[in-house]
Structure 1
Amino acid sequence: MRTTRVFTGVLLTAAALFAAGAPAALADSPAPSPTESGDEAAPTEAGTTFRTATKIRQDQRATADASTGDYLYWVFEADAGRTATVKATVKLPEAAARHGAATWRIDVYDGLRRRQACVYGSQTKAAPKDAASVDLSCTLRTVRAWAEPWDNDPLPGSYYVRLTVVDLPQEDLGLPVHAEVGATTKDAGGSRAVDGALSVPLVAGISDPKVAEATESASSWWSDRWLWTVGGGVLGAIAAIAGYNLTRGSGRPSRVPPGV
């Protein structure tokens, strides 16, 4: 009976943790506003520096007309536990106006303007002289909730996208191009789930108060890692109780019949 009471108490404790955590996760996730859901028109121009980077929202397809050789900048937000992917398409000038192949490159920087490595994707690609367009992509590492000061890990906050040509014939500088850029993020989940948040997200250089406000409520403390933690605790408690009873039973002396 004592073992049953202890086991029941462990299960009730685990159930209480699940019941308390799930509503908190829902409460910490505000309902998307019409602006956040993508109803806002996508930008049709790009910035030319970090400070003038054009803000884009996830799943938007921003466009910009520019000249070959310009540096084009956009900025988007990414929260902890998310994996961001940036894609860009550059529609090139007519082949008759070009003098050779051109190599284009897309780079992503965090809010501290540290260039982030691409896990996979075509970050740099050469377009032949007769190519009509070139496609680029960069998938970052999963954004972490915190990191040591000397680490270069991606953290919650702003991420800058820079698109430019890095190699081409000198005569082709200044030719008109049309760029399309989009950023998406997905929940990494599972073993990559993270808890906690930075006290101040990395939004250096952003003058738009809406951008800073959007990152003030970084990722919730609740994640599916809690499910594994609580589940492991319950299994550990059951194993401990079973081991204790087994040891206690094996160490108890056998009863000797009366009269022997």
Structure 2
Amino acid sequence: MRITRVLSTALLLAGLAATPAMADSSPSASPSDDSSAPTQAGTSFRTATELDQGQTGTASGSTGDYLYWSFAADAGQRPTVKATVKLPDTHAGETWQLDVYDGLRRRQACQYGASTRTAAQDATSLDLACTLRTVRAWSETWANDPLPGTYYVRLTVVDLQSSDLGLPVSTEVRVDSKDIGGSAAVDGSLAQPLTPGIAAKSASDDDSSSSSTSAALSSIEPDGGWSSGWWSDRWVWTGLGGVLAALAGIGGYALTRGSGRPRRVPPPGM
């Protein structure tokens, strides 16, 4: 009975600890209202159009243009960027490429997904995708790991015939993320997310009528703000491991201690 009670307690604690872990495996970005989604794209890093996760941004342009969007990604998220290019009715074969850069404008490698594809002459659309590595809360200065902050999406054609240059195209871009949870947690965090200044704002001094100009950071950020970087479900599993170890010790002692007083061994010759 005692062993059964110990195992029941362990299973109950395992079920309680698995609940937040299952929640972490679900997509972290809830669908946003498409009515507020952007309908244009920037032409450089500084003019990149801000895009919330879960939104589908659209833009019209010409073949040969560089189209830029920006979005925010926090620690523990694994962003996936998808783009659809609607091609003109008549065109030659052309190759499009989807690039993602972090807040330091370092190009991030795609963990998987077709970020470069070639459209045939009769193709009406082209789909591109790029799934980044999991965003880390902290990294070495020499590493190229994804860090919390602003990310930039660049969509452009990289190979086409001169006769197709300037033809009208329309594009759709969407960013979603999966929350990886404590398996990607690290012991450290950035002092501030990598959100470079992209504009200038006028700040008035309360004590005087003079105004000064200061750099304004990107206004886009994840839902609920940036995470502190120290909490993850890894703490839950660590605590659960300690409890299970204690229960295992108690169960082992109960099995090996014996159920009565030791027998007296008669002396030799009796």
Is contact 1:38-1:57 (8 Å) kept?
no
Deviation string, structure 1 residues 84-137 (Cα, Å, up to 9, x no partner): 110111111221xx3x20000001111111111111111000001121111101
CA change 1:209–1:84 in 2 (3 A) is closer
Question: SS at 1:143's partner residue?
Answer: coil
Question: SS at 1:120's partner residue?
Answer: coil
Bigger drift between 184-193 and 71-80 goes to 184-193
AA aligned to 2:75 is A
Aligned-residue sequence identity (percent) comes to: 59
Q: Which residue of 1 aligns with 2:104?
A: 112
Is contact 1:93-1:176 (8 Å) kept?
yes
Equivalent residues in 2 for 1:3-22, closer than 5 Å: none
Q: Structure 1 residue 236 and structure 2 residue 228: aligned?
A: no
Alignment counterpart, residue 181 of structure 1, candidates 173, 177, 185: 173
Q: Which residue of 1 aligns with 2:233?
A: 224
Question: SS at 2:145's partner residue?
Answer: coil
Unpaired segments of 5 or more residues in structure 1? 1-6, 23-31
Bigger drift between 232-241 and 168-177 goes to 232-241
Question: SS at 1:43's partner residue?
Answer: coil
2: CA distance, partners of 1:214 / 1:56? 13
Q: Structure 1 residue 211 and structure 2 residue 220: aligned?
A: yes
Question: SS at 1:121's partner residue?
Answer: coil
CA change 1:213–1:130 in 2 (3 A) is closer
2: CA distance, partners of 1:121 / 1:107? 12
Q: Which residue of 1 aligns with 2:191?
A: 199
Q: Quote the offset at 1:223 in angstroms.
A: 2.3
Number of residue pairs matched by the alignment: 233
Question: SS at 1:191's partner residue?
Answer: helix
Unpaired segments of 5 or more residues in structure 2? 1-5, 21-28, 200-216
1: CA distance, partners of 2:165 / 2:65? 9
Q: Which residue of 1 aligns with 2:145?
A: 153
Bigger drift between 234-243 and 79-88 goes to 234-243
Deviation string, structure 1 residues 129-172 (Cα, Å, up to 9, x no partner): 12111110111111111111111111111110000000000221
Is contact 2:56-2:174 (8 Å) kept?
yes
2: CA distance, partners of 1:73 / 1:201? 20
Is contact 2:135-2:145 (8 Å) kept?
yes
Q: Structure 1 residue 166 and structure 2 residue 158: aligned?
A: yes
Q: Structure 1 residue 55 and structure 2 residue 50: aligned?
A: yes
Question: SS at 1:227's partner residue?
Answer: helix
1: CA distance, partners of 2:172 / 2:129? 12
CA change 1:138–1:213 in 2 (3 A) is closer
Q: Quote the offset at 1:214 in angstroms.
A: 7.0
Q: Which residue of 1 aligns with 2:113?
A: 121
Is contact 1:195-1:219 (8 Å) kept?
no
The TM-score normalised by the length of structure 1 is 0.75
Q: Which residue of 2 aligns with 1:74?
A: 69
Q: Quote the offset at 1:81 in angstroms.
A: 0.9
Is contact 1:119-1:138 (8 Å) kept?
yes
Q: Structure 1 residue 103 and structure 2 residue 92: aligned?
A: no
Name whichever structure is richer in helix by fraction: 1
